[in-house]
Amino acid sequence: MNTVLDPLVIGLLLAAALMHATWNALLKADTGDRLATFGVIMLTGSLMSLPFIFFLPFPPKTAWLWLLTSVIVHNFYYYFLLKAYATGDLSHTYPIARGLGPLLVAIFSGRLLGEYLRVQDGVGVALVSLGIIALAAPRRRLKNGETISDVLLGQHRRATIYAVLTGITIAAYLFSDGLGVRASGPSFEHKLSYIVWLNVCEGPWLILVALYLRPLGVVAFLRKGPRGWWRGAIGGAIATIGYAIAIWALAAGPIAHVAAVRESSVLFAAVMGALLLGEPFGKLRIVAAGIIVAGLVLMNGPTLF
């Protein structure tokens, strides 16, 4: 396996990052039943994938172990993500959650996968994570004696905690899906089969939970037609394609590199939060964006040291 990502893989991952930020912005912008919207997002992925199971090879047992693990981890991820969005801004919670993912993957990928990073890869991951978390820095001047941690763990304490838990589950599902898609078989059809079955198996749970918790509300939400479920359906189509690209990339290069490039989605999320949701975007975030780009270039460039 190459120690750096192919330019085609990087390009597709950047497109996937934009897709990821887009469906997260759609979910955060929802002012109605966010759980129902998220349920429609996931159900859309299942419905899109279902026809393909009849034309693709069935995943082997070794892949199913990781696939089912991923389904469980993803559902914890969805819970923590919803909690984070319910208690904090997109531009605050999203960078923390996405910043922890590549950092944790880089720390543990050598021990768990035998994918040991170059020195400059480690520096690149650190820069990416630093830049990502800097995007979540407070958007006001600090008072006398106040620190950034006071802000992150003060008014937004719950949002920050849920964002950290979200980041931990991100690293966990990247490992499980990386190992699962590699165990699925050598051909593109085998890898696509893993992606399809993952979507089919994890898709129905959120909408079932929503129906269990508030059945009448969800039914009313779905009966609104395009005014109710369209946001989830569009987000679901985008999310399905975006994560399919990410899983395919996990089989094409080191998981730490894939995680770092994919989490450049925070740049898109910060811009969307500013332009679409009215969340501030200042000079610090411009600097943070430059740090992230520098880290990505360092990770995927020729060996310098």
Contact (CB, 8 A) for 135 and 100? no
pLDDT at 127 over 70: yes
Distance of alpha carbon 123 from alpha carbon 300, whole angstroms: 12
Distance of alpha carbon 182 from alpha carbon 228, whole angstroms: 38
* Mean pLDDT (whole number) for 177-203: 93
pLDDT tier at 154, thresholds 50, 70, 90: low
Q: List the one residue out of 5, 1, 2, 3 whose CA is nearest residue 246.
A: 5
Q: What is the pLDDT of residue 55?
A: 92
What value does the mean pLDDT of the chain take?
81
Contact (CB, 8 A) for 254 and 3? yes
Q: List the one residue out of 246, 256, 268, 134 whose CA is nearest residue 194.
A: 246
Q: What is the pLDDT of residue 193?
A: 95
| Percent residues over pLDDT 90 in the chain | 29
User: 3-state SS of 147-199?
Assistant: CHHHHHCCCCHHHHHHHHHHHHHHHHHHHHHHHHHHHCCCCHHHHHHHHHHHH
Task: Give per-residue pLDDT as tens, 194-246.
Answer: 999 999 999 999 889 888 888 887 887 777 766 667 778 888 999 999 999 99
This prediction's pTM: 0.82
For residue 46, what is the DSSP state?
A: H
Q: List the one residue out of 17, 19, 18 whose CA is nearest residue 239.
A: 19
Distance of alpha carbon 235 from alpha carbon 295, whole angstroms: 29
Q: What does 269-284 look like in DSSP terms, one character per residue?
A: HHHHHHHTS-----HH
Number of neighbours of residue 223 by Cβ within 10 angstroms: 10
Tokens of 150: 């006071």
pLDDT at 62 over 80: yes
